[in-house]
Amino acid sequence: MRDYESAVQWAEHLDARILQDAASVSGRDDQYFNLVSIGARLVLAGFDITYSKEDGTTDIKAFMRNTGIGSKSNNALGPYASLPAFVYLNSTWMTYLLDSSMQHQNSLDLQDNFAASTDLGNYPNATSGYEAD
């Protein structure tokens, strides 16, 4: 909330950039811009970046929620499908997302050398501790 004006300016700049880039390959077709901008919004809608600072180091993680039905974390298919958007927006974000997935994979006690199940469990929820009556 303290950075609202800056966030609005960044969002407007991003929309203008997407419009310009989409127009350069579509011959100014507004439908193509709408499709590309909706795709970017869908990628960002389920994407969260976290960080923690311990012992003078910063640990950055990224997680992706399945934006479809349910509240599961995204498996490999979601990040794979969103790769072009991350390359366009900020490729470092994909690094954080892949690193988190690999750390999860390595933390599992797998007896075979196979990838973990695609069911990564429920997406983390931040609750206030408030319980309704």
- Convert the chain into a string of H (helix), E (strand) and C (coil): CCCHHHHHHHHHHHHHHHHHHHHHHHCCCHHHHHHHHHHHHHHHHCEEEEEEEECCEEEEEEEEECCCCCCEECCCHHHHHHHHHHHHHCHHHHHHHHHHHHHHHHHCCCCCCCCCCCCCCECCCCCCCCCCC
Where do the structural domains in the chain lie, given as residue ranges? Answer: 1-45, 46-123
How sure is the predictor about 133, in pLDDT bands with cuts at 50, 70 and 90? very low
Q: Say which residue, 28 or 3, is predicted with more confidence.
A: 3
Note the pLDDT tens digit of each residue in 43-91.
888 888 888 888 888 888 888 887 666 666 666 777 888 889 999 999 9
Q: Say which residue, 110 or 37, is predicted with more confidence.
A: 37
